[in-house]
Amino acid sequence: MGFVLILGGARSGKSGLADRLATATPEDPEMEDRIRRHRDTRPPHWSTVEEPVDLQAAIRAGPVSDFVIVDCLTLWVSNLLGAGRGPVEIRAMAGEAALELALHRGVVVTNEVGLGIVPANELARTFRDLLGAVNALFADRAERSVLMVAGRALELSRLDTTTLSR
């Protein structure tokens, strides 16, 4: 059992690697189109749960034998912030969801948003920092982590702190 965490920037190939699923809510016409395209590419035999907020319940809803795709943590964190949840609560929810997901086989997709400039406004900085923390929580529980860049996958290894102190 275990899941693979796929990180990367926008349009880097993350979701293609994970056989795209959506956890978004359609807030505008462009997002509606993205969700429609996600739905259209799913094989008809897939069982799909689209849950924008209660990720833990969605993971628990299926048998442990199911392969789970979470696409994506970025939208989940955004949805939680938009629903008024605070960073401490979101980190706790992420820790619980990652523990639950570790009991399954699956893939988790998320964006790496901390490689650019420091955002000018407080909400954007909170989101960037919080998503980085959530990504790290999932990476800790993941069997493997992969960084997607320009459609190419780079396997990420765990940091061996014992060798750093030498």
User: Is the pLDDT score of 71 beyond 90?
Assistant: no
Strands (E), 9-159: 67-71, 105-111, 144-149, 152-156
In this structure, what token pair is assigned to residue 29? 């016409």
> Taking a C-beta distance cutoff of 8 angstroms, is the pair 106, 1 a contact?
no
Is 45 a catalytic site residue? Answer: no
Structure confidence by residue, pLDDT tens digits, 13-60: 666 656 533 444 566 788 778 777 767 776 676 677 778 899 999 999
Q: What pLDDT is recorded for position 44?
A: 72
Q: Which domains does the chain have, with CATH numbers?
A: 2-164 (3.40.50.300)
Q: How far is CA 93 from the centre of its chain?
A: 13
| Gyration radius (Cα) of the chain, Å | 16
Structure confidence by residue, pLDDT tens digits, 83-135: 999 999 999 999 999 999 999 988 899 999 988 889 999 999 999 999 999 99
In this structure, what token pair is assigned to residue 46? 């897939």
More confidently predicted of 103 and 10: 103
Q: What pLDDT is recorded for position 132?
A: 96
- 3-state percent breakdown (helix, strand, coil) of the chain, nearest 5: 45, 20, 40
| Mean pLDDT within 149-160 | 84
> Taking a C-beta distance cutoff of 8 angstroms, is the pair 99, 127 a contact?
no
Q: What pLDDT is recorded for position 162?
A: 67
The phi, psi pair for 98, rounded to 5°, reads -65, -40
Residue of 14, 20, 38, 104 with catalytic role:
38
Q: Is 40 exposed, middle or buried (0-12, 13-18, 19+ CB in 10 A)?
A: exposed
Cα distance between residue 4 and residue 6, in whole Å: 6
Cα distance between residue 94 and residue 91, in whole Å: 5
